[in-house]
Amino acid sequence: MSNSSVRHIPWESIPIEELNPLLSRRLVTGEKGMLAHVYLKKGAVVPLHSHENEQFTYILEGALKFLIGDDKSEEIIVRAGEVLHLPSNVPHEAEAIEDTLDLDIFVPPRADWLSGSDDYLREK
């Protein structure tokens, strides 16, 4: 690995992408993984979806309520300082029960987020 591939990226240097009035994000993408700061205002809902990407959600501030499964039968509340791991293809929905900042880690990077084809997040 050459030194030229190393990047130092302050979060503040990344423009915020507003997806809808309650949801915005900043992305850092590498070859095999992606980090996202996701900003959710209280009441924001990420509709039920699934993806091939493995996901780790680390709540930095606030709290999210996750509904897991096609039938949304499992409820998990994740608060500041806690992590939720979602394996590939697990259906999930999230609702911000407080103003929330989360750090999402995806492996591999989310192609739909990079291409802007993530319409389910842009509706409202």
What amino acid is encoded at 71 in this protein? D
Instruction: Please state, in angstroms and rounded to a whole number, the distance separating the CA atoms of residues 120 and 38.
Output: 15
With 0.85 as the threshold, say if the pTM is over it. Answer: yes
Q: Where are the domains of the chain?
A: 22-122
Under CATH, what is the fold of the domain 22-122? Jelly Rolls (2.60.120)
Query: Would you say 101 and 60 are in contact if contact means Cβ atoms under 8 Å apart?
Result: yes
pLDDT tens digit string along 8-56?
Answer: 999 999 999 999 999 999 999 999 999 999 999 999 999 999 999 999 9
Quick one: how far is CA 73 from the chain centroid? Answer: 21
Cis bond leading into 108, ω under 30°?
Answer: yes
